[in-house]
């Protein structure tokens, strides 16, 4: 359905008599990333009609106001450098030459109405001096690759590529490699120290995650180191894959082979070792979870005591008031009135509840 001045069902009839005036779009502040001096910045804009669909304007003009006030009329440059990449989408590559705030203004005509889009960007120059960070970051793997062409001052080259690697300090780290080796024994003799240290780091993270109560003393730190040691040992012994041809007496991980046969120095089987380690680990897990508030063997529940069945007394307790027939004291009579001997009117006050007052007997 088309709208006209004779058809008032689609718009106000008074609008036919009002003149069409140019309207200006809202001001948009486009925050671009830092623009360097001498670099190229893409000035982009998308035009839409009142229904929200992309549309190419009837006419387009782009001006750039530089920091010194100089105005660059881009649309007057021949040939026109404004690129129409798609329907309604235009851009212009502007090469910066001055430091400071720049203002871009797009003036277009869409359906007979003038539309203006304005944005700003800042060109930066210079730099700052920043002190480098000291040391390396925690929990990082540093790999050095040396090419075979590297040579010394005499021209002697390496002859082959060389790769070296090392790990930075692990944090958190609540146990030591030597402590774990002493606890596990020959089962980890062939495991590198860095692999053991990585397992200790993983277990230390686990200790932080299971701590449910804020630690209050040194007992927590001791329990945490014990838990980490046993948990890391379990991680180390569960990493190798059992060799089916050995009946479980050998564990192998890559080139690492642990033989649990008669020639091994281990004095008990691996399954028994894993069972003992899990038992100790679970025992210290509860202590760490409680923040060191309990000791190994103690439960997490509150300590309670019940009266024995052989005790017959019921321990009845009174309201802990003196017997008014034995002790003389005044009691308030707020909810009841009383009268003294010889008086006729009931009054509020303090009654003297004792045997002498009522019976006159001492």
Q: Does residue 127 have a pLDDT over 90?
A: no
pLDDT at position 248 = 44
Q: Is residue 96 part of a domain?
A: yes
Are both 195 and 280 inside the same structural domain? Answer: yes
Closest by Cα among 37, 42, 33 to 74: 42
pLDDT reported for residue 359:
59
| Helices 193-210 & 270-289 angle (0-180, nearest 10) | 40
48-97: pLDDT as tens digits: 988 889 999 999 999 999 999 999 999 888 888 999 999 999 999 999 99
Residues 198 and 225 in one domain: yes
pLDDT of residue 239: 76
Contact criterion met (CB below 8 Å) for 146 and 162: yes
Say how far apart CA 294 and CA 291 lie, in whole Å. Answer: 8
pLDDT band at 22 (very low <50, low <70, confident <90, very high): very low
Least confident segment among 67-76, 92-101, 186-195, 351-360 = 351-360
In this structure, how many other beta carbons lie within 10 angstroms of the beta carbon of residue 168?
A: 13
What pLDDT score does 191 carry? Answer: 87
> Based on the domain organization, do 83 and 55 belong to the same domain?
yes
Q: Please report where in the chains the tokens 């109405």 appear, as a residue.
A: 113
Flag the least confident range among 162-166, 207-211, 327-331: 327-331
What string of H, E and C letters represents the secondary structure of the chain?
Answer: CCCECCECCCCCHHHHCCCCCCCCCCCCCCCCCCEECCCEEEEEEECECCCCCECCCCEEEEEEECCCCCEEEHHHCCCCCCEEEECCEEEEEEECCCCEEEEEEEEEEECCEEEEEEEEEEEECCCCCCCCCCCCCCCCEEEEEECCCCECCCCCECCCCEEEEEECCCCCCCCCHHHHHHHHHHHHCCCCHHHHHHHHHHHHHHHHHHCCCCCCCHHHHHHHHHHHHHHHHHHHHHCCEECHHHCCCEEEECCEEEECCCCCCCCCCHHHHHHHHHHHHHHHHHHHHCCCCCCCCCCCCCCCCCCCCCCCCCCCCCCCCCCCCCCCCEEECCCCCECCCCCCCCECCEEECCHHHHHCCC
Asked if residue 353 and residue 249 are part of one domain, the reply reads no
Asked, for residue 120, whether it belongs to a domain, the answer is yes
For 193-226, how does the pLDDT look when each residue is reduced to its tens digit (9 = 90+)? Answer: 999 999 999 999 999 999 987 787 788 999 999 9
Average pLDDT, the chain: 78
Residues 27 and 100 in one domain: yes
Domain that holds residue 146: 136-150+158-170
Asked whether the beta carbons of 281 and 234 are under 8 A apart, the reply is: yes
What was the pLDDT predicted at 10?
47
285 and 188 belong to one structural domain? yes
Using alpha carbons, select from 284, 170, 282 the residue that is nearest to residue 220. Answer: 284
Neighbours of 278 (CB within 10 A): 14
Q: Are 221 and 143 members of one domain? A: no
Residue 208 within any structural domain of the chain: yes
Report yes or no on 319 lying in a domain: no
Mean pLDDT to the nearest integer, 248-252: 51
Q: Which two tokens stand for residue 34?
A: 């830092």
Is the residue at 40 inside a domain? Answer: yes
Q: Is residue 265 part of a domain?
A: yes
164 with 181, same domain: the answer is no
Domain count, the chain: 4
Shared-domain flag, residues 266 and 338: no
My answer on whether 210 and 282 are in the same domain is yes
Give the mean pLDDT of 4-26. Answer: 45
Both 49 and 89 in one domain: the answer is yes
Distance CA(212)–CA(293), nearest Å, equals: 11
Same domain assignment for residues 201 and 276: yes
Give the position of tokens 């009054």.
Answer: 347
Is 317 domain-assigned?
A: no
Domain presence at residue 311: no
């Amino acid at each position: 359905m088309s709208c006209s001045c004779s058809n008032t069902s689609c718009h106000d009839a008074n609008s036919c008599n009002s003149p069409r005036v140019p309207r200006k779009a809202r001001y948009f502040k486009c925050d671009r990333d830092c623009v360097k001096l001498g670099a190229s910045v893409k000035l982009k804009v998308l035009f839409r009609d009142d229904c929200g669909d992309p549309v190419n304007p009837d006419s387009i003009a782009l001006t750039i106001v530089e920091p010194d006030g100089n105005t660059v009329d881009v649309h007057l440059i021949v040939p026109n450098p404004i690129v129409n990449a798609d329907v309604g989408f235009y851009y212009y590559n502007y090469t910066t030459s001055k430091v400071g705030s720049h203002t871009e203004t797009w003036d277009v005509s869409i359906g007979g109405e003038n539309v203006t889009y304005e944005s700003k960007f800042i060109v930066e120059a210079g730099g700052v001096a920043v002190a480098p960070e000291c040391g390396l970051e925690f929990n990082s793997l540093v790999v050095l690759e040396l090419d075979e062409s590297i040579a010394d001052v005499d021209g002697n080259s390496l002859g082959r590529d060389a790769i070296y690697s090392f790990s930075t300090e692990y944090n958190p780290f609540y146990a030591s490699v030597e402590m774990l080796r002493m606890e596990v024994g020959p089962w980890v003799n062939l495991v590198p120290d860095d692999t053991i240290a990585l397992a200790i780091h993983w277990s230390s993270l686990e200790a932080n995650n299971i701590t449910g109560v804020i630690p209050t003393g040194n007992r927590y730190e001791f329990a945490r180191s014990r838990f980490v040691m046993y948990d890391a040992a379990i991680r180390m012994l569960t990493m190798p894959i059992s060799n089916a041809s050995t009946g479980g007496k050998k564990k192998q991980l890559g080139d690492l082979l642990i033989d649990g046969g008669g020639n091994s120095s281990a004095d008990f089987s691996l399954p028994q070792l894993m069972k003992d380690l899990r038992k100790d680990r679970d025992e210290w897990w509860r202590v760490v979870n409680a923040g060191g508030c309990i000791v190994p063997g103690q439960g997490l529940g509150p300590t309670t005591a019940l009266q024995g069945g052989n005790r017959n007394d019921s321990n009845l307790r009174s309201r802990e008031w003196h017997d008014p027939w034995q002790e003389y004291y005044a009691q308030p009579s707020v909810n009841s009135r009383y009268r003294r001997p010889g008086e006729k009117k009931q009054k509020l006050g303090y009654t003297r509840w004792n045997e002498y007052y009522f019976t006159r007997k001492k």
